[in-house]
Amino acid sequence: MAQQNEKMAYYPGCSMDGLGKAYQKSTEVVFRDLDIPMDRIKDYNCCGATEVKNISYDLSVFLPTRNLALAQEMGAKTVIAPCNGCVYALARANKTISEDSGSRERLGKYLAEADLPQYGGEVEVKHVLEVIRNSVGLDAVRSKVTKPLKGLKVACYYGCLYTRPKVYTGAGLQSGKDNPEHPFFMDELLQAAGATTVDYPVKTICCGGGHTIADREVSIGFSAAILNEAARAGADMVSTMCPLGQVNIEMNIPKITEQYGAGIIRPVVYFTQLMGLAFGHSRREMAIQENLSDANGVLKRMGY
């Protein structure tokens, strides 16, 4: 198994210790199984997501920079983040600091004021999905599978900020990054775990998660589109890789059922939960029961 020589720091982000706890639990298990170390950044803070930048540009760069500086202090060359929003915010801060000298100067001043180490944009930001696929490889994943997800049709939903925009994340420009418009890493991983992935057109559409409560119409519309297209492609479930997307779609399910009927509803799970099931762990271990949508029925029928 290819071991990573350089140290990687793990930035969980707020959701992983809150609503996305099931994602955290399943990611921990998958990392352990694949021998990927998980060194948490202690005392991390919120990255500001996409909200803070609408109020203050400097603060929206400063918040993620603190986390990056802490990671560098740990001796890490890479930061792993499980949430699309965090990947975006961290990568954006990196880009700003390394390319905009004016911002770098101001940020340096702020970091000194807060007694933090200086940071120049050296740490690389990666999504959990990229790390699992690239650092151990698909063969290693295949060798770990004891209960392949045979016959399970999964619609992989990547969401918006995983690869977008490439000027920040480097998708399609650097090696080891996914295709910015047609991502395929999750499909590959779940296929390696034995599942069938369906092709459907809204893999990278927005889920409306940024305005889950602020703009109900848009949020419900997008969530319904994702579920509808997944159902049309014949998927048994939708798998996500972002706690915000997951919770947003799940929260909208009651309303979507009311507006569009129960026929298009598919349960939503994290991709790490499916991988964990394929590695022989139980549904309870993968915290399937903690999801707001009910995937237990489908999985029981499949024999998990």
Partner 1 sequence: MPIHEKSLIDGVIEKEKAVVDGVDVSGRWNTFIKERLLTDYHEDFVQEVKSLQGGKTVTNCWQCGTCTSGCCLHTDYGLREFNPRYFIYLAQTGNVEELKKYENVIWRCISCNKCVERCPKGVKVEEVVHAIDEVMRKRGIAEDTPGSRWDRTYLDNIMATGVLDELGLTLKYVRSEKPADFTRGFMARMAFKIIKNGNVRTGPIRRRTKGWKKMKKVADSILEADGYGSTK
Instruction: Give contact residues for partner 1 (rule: CB under 8 A).
Output: 14-15, 17-19, 21-22, 42-46, 48-59, 62-63, 66, 88, 103, 110, 113-115, 160-161, 163-167, 180-181, 202, 204-206, 208-211, 213-216, 218, 221-222, 225, 251, 254-255, 290, 292
Specify the residue, 110 or 260, whose C-beta has the smaller distance to partner 1.
110
Q: Residues 167-180, buried b or exposed e (16+ Cβ, 10 A)? A: ebbbbeeeeebbeb
Which residues, 6 or more positions from 13, have their beta carbon under 8 angstroms from its beta carbon?
Answer: 44, 46, 47, 81, 82, 83, 85, 86, 243
Specify the residue, 93 or 192, whose C-beta has the smaller distance to partner 1.
93
Specify the residue, 19 or 145, whose C-beta has the smaller distance to partner 1.
19
Specify the residue, 160 or 277, whose C-beta has the smaller distance to partner 1.
160
* Residue 201, amino acid: P
> Residue 61 CB, nearest distance to partner 1 (Å)?
9
238 pairs with which residues across the strands? 155, 268
> Residue 246 CB, nearest distance to partner 1 (Å)?
13
CA distance from start to end of the chain: 28
- Rounded Cα–Cα distance for residues 203 and 240 (Å): 10
> Residue 233 CB, nearest distance to partner 1 (Å)?
17
> Residue 152 CB, nearest distance to partner 1 (Å)?
24
Structural element, H or E, at residue 102: helix 101-113
Which tokens belong to 280?
């022989």
> Residue 2 CB, nearest distance to partner 1 (Å)?
31
**In 114-215, which residue ranges form alpha helices assigned H by DSSP?**
128-131, 137-144, 166-169, 185-192
Specify the residue, 14 or 233, whose C-beta has the smaller distance to partner 1.
14
